[in-house]
Structure 1
Amino acid sequence: MQYGSDVEAADALCQAYKKLRAEIGKVIIGQDEVIKYVLISIFSNGHCLLVGVPGLAKTLLVQTVAQSLHLDFKRIQFTPDLMPSDIIGSEILGEDRNFKFIHGPVFANIILADEINRTPPKTQAALLEAMQEKAVTAAGITHKLTQPFFVLATQNPIEQEGTYPLPEAQLDRFMFNVKLDYPTFAEELQVVKNTTGTTNGEVTPVLNAAQIIAFQQLVRNIPVADNVLEYAVKLVAKTRPAGEFAPPQVKRLLNWGAGPRASQFLVLGAKCHAVINGKYSPDIEDVQAIARPILSHRIVRSYHAEAEGLTAGDIIGQLF
């Protein structure tokens, strides 16, 4: 789809976002913040980690997003015996006695990595190249993945027996770390009413792959004022206890801060947040609106923070 200018394209993205929210809302009740972060990560060409107890419709949310975007969707159930080749694929000897590569489930537009912390680090690492390079390597040959490509992973925070916590290197690949809460009484009442009858919400596709790629490029083209750019970078720098911008409470409450990838995601996310809210350039409020789920999994709390019961979100809030 061609637009006469970036302004027209920004207006089109804003309208498409509203339509997507309406379509997803036919199936997913509540979880407005979660849906917003998932869509921002997609339009910013990032990945998203969803953390929540079982039964909060994490899998259903990802399936519904894929339907509304008319994208190819694959679900990978991560288990302790899952091998890297089960994700990226493997070479087999064909009838012509030549080896050929059989694509694994990672060759899709949207990948649901279900319970990603249930598989060993070797298999978790199989996703690293796919998430960062948008390609996988098998037998020394690099295979490009289908574009657009997103990984939406889920994680159960309460059942930790038999799990393998994600290493910092892999956590850093995720643009957002989004925590899902229980629905309100009214929302749960609506969920039960919708899911115990005979009617199901039908989701109509709003965008296709080519439009999503165009909107991703648009987000990168959005201009950012120098003061907003400096605010985003300084906000990340404040999380580093040994850095020059770290306030006293950070030096006491954090052992480790966020890296440069956090600054990149803050700016990209702020651009997208501005556009979906009808603005043509982000301001400081857009940076603050997305800062917590971008920074929370990139900082390491100290003993003092844990003893005082402070969450990563609480500490980030103090930096505003």
Structure 2
Amino acid sequence: MDKIDFTGRVAIVTGAGGGLGRLHALGLAARGAKVVVNDLGGAVDGTGGSVTAAQKVVDEIKAAGGEAIVNGASVTDFAAVQAMVQQAIDAWGRVDILVNNAGILRDKSFAKMELDDFRLVVDVHLMGAANCTKAVWAHMVAQKYGRILMTTSSTGLYGNFGQANYGAAKMALVGLMQTLSIEGAKNDIRVNCLAPTAATRMTEGLLPPEVMEAILPETVVPTMLVAVSEQAPTRTIFCAGAGTYEAAHITLTQGVHLGLTPDTPERLLAALGQVTDSQGETVPMSGAEQGTNEVQKALAARR
């Protein structure tokens, strides 16, 4: 069995002042990584800011014999994020791992949600991850090694009432991962997603106590360690919670070729069961595979 070891590796974990991010930072440090503990220190809705919580995590890591530095950048501020990456390079000479964990909630039903709250959640989750990834990308290309983890969510993958903004942002991260895993492959930059089910301050009050006890955030950390390890896969959507570990896939059904005639809409409506039939579905390795399937069926129908 391969040992997961981060000795000599440098990691940045965003939103690491508490909850799952704190445990990610501690987990990486316990296995030898030098860690930049980033946290704006705001409330769950993104207001306020202080590095106090992040500094406590740094102190925990150091007390256990590890190496860590604190950073209070907002992931929405690209200049501050660039400075954070430079801080890691100045301290340790490289950045090997990025865990995009920072996030906020502004929950309301879509009918009652202000667009400013929609925009802010997308900005923190999606643009925050994009900012951090962009800031490390060139360094990872130059060293021909990188591991990046996006924190997605079951809300993005499958939906959840009152979280249209959060779900949209979280599913967007899957799309970002899909393309970056392709673009990073030649330089051994592996990009994965993690959909955690964990009791944190972002889930507090939303779930019954017995459920909160089952979904301790500690049970998610092993997935993060695998996803950013030297042995990591790439382009995997990991799901984890309560000690159960799964993977989610975006699949493509075999579909049906109907051609184009005046009554194609009616024939498509009648064939929806066949169109959505999951038997024989595939997991495409690129967006082009959808088009390939469609064209192959069209050409076969002409023969």
- TM-score w.r.t. length of structure 1: 0.32
